[in-house]
């Protein structure tokens, strides 16, 4: 990810403040898993990323309630949309 900025935003459109929040959340998840003594595997990381994606997409109005519920169901069953 590029660190060059234009009007307070990263080139890819994510504001620097959001990038800091994302990094902080990743640090917190890493600290939690370190306390458990076992890092997340790739599937677990993908699940967390997709779960966050679904939640944010829904809250931003990009998914209907039905689409939201459908994607949550897919995640719970270990399926990928």
Write the pLDDT tens digit of every residue in 17-69: 888 999 999 999 999 999 888 899 999 999 999 999 999 999 999 999 999 99
End-to-end CA distance of the chain: 25
d(CA 63, CA 73): 14
79 vs 81: CA distance, rounded Å: 7
CA 63 from centroid of its chain's CA atoms? 16
Indicate the helix (H) or strand (E) that contains 6: strand 5-6
Q: Alpha-carbon distance 31 to 58, whole Å?
A: 28
- 54 and 68 in a single domain? The answer is yes
How many distinct structural domains can be found in the chain? 2
Residues 3 and 32 in one domain: yes
Q: Are residues 31 and 19 in the same domain?
A: yes
Q: Are 35 and 56 found together in one domain?
A: no
Is 1 in the same domain as 28? yes
Does one domain contain both 23 and 52? Answer: no
pTM, to two decimals: 0.72
């Amino acid at each position: 990810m590029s660190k060059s900025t234009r009007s307070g935003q990263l080139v890819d459109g994510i504001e620097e403040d959001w990038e800091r929040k994302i990094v902080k959340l990743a640090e917190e998840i890493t600290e939690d898993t370190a306390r458990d003594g076992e890092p997340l595997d790739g599937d677990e990381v993908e699940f967390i990323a997709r779960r966050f994606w679904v939640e944010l997409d829904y809250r931003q109005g990009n998914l209907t309630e039905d689409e939201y519920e459908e994607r949550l169901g897919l995640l719970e069953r270990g399926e990928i949309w």
